[in-house]
């Protein structure tokens, strides 16, 4: 159960981090990313994060502990959401 909870939390963080990058990419707005600040690298980074999120859950079988896994994933998304809404990786900037 511990592995499912930890990996669900990480999957939530990974997915929650990919969403703003993907959205900024498709709306053609700059946003800080490890691949670059322009829209195309953000679109790619966001898409990769969204597409690879299931890999976090592939081996740990969260269906065996669905409530704990779901809560953990939602807490992961909340944590990365607070991070993005707050200081973010590069401090507060108006992009």
Examine residue 63 and state whether it is found in any structural domain, yes or no: yes
Q: State what percent of residues in the chain have pLDDT above 70.
A: 93
Examine residue 91 and state whether it is found in any structural domain, yes or no: no
pLDDT-based confidence at residue 69 (cuts at 50, 70, 90) = very high
pLDDT digits (tens, 9 = 90+) for 24-60: 999 999 888 888 889 999 999 999 999 999 998 888 8
**Residue-level pLDDT at 52:** 95
SS3 string of the chain? CHHHHHHHHHHHHHHHHHHHHHHHHHCCCCCCCCCCCCHHHHHHHHHHHHHHHHHHHCCCCHHHCHHHHHHHHHHHHHHHHHHHHCCCCCCCCCC
Examine residue 90 and state whether it is found in any structural domain, yes or no: no
The pTM for the full model equals 0.84
Examine residue 69 and state whether it is found in any structural domain, yes or no: yes
Residue 68: domain span: 2-85
Examine residue 93 and state whether it is found in any structural domain, yes or no: no
Examine residue 76 and state whether it is found in any structural domain, yes or no: yes
Quick check: 56 and 14 in contact, CB under 8 A? yes
Once rounded to an integer, what is the mean pLDDT over residues 79-89?
A: 86
**Residue-level pLDDT at 86:** 85
Examine residue 48 and state whether it is found in any structural domain, yes or no: yes
> How many domains in the chain?
1
């Amino acid at each position: 159960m511990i592995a499912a909870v930890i990996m669900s939390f990480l999957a939530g963080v990974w997915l929650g981090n990919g969403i703003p990058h993907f959205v900024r990419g498709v709306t053609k707005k700059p946003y800080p990313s490890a691949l670059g600040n322009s829209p195309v690298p953000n679109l790619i980074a966001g898409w990769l994060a969204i597409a690879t999120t299931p890999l976090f859950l592939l081996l740990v079988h969260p269906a065996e502990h669905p409530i704990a896994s779901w809560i953990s994933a939602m807490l992961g998304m909340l944590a990365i959401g607070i991070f993005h809404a707050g200081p973010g990786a590069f401090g507060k900037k108006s992009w």
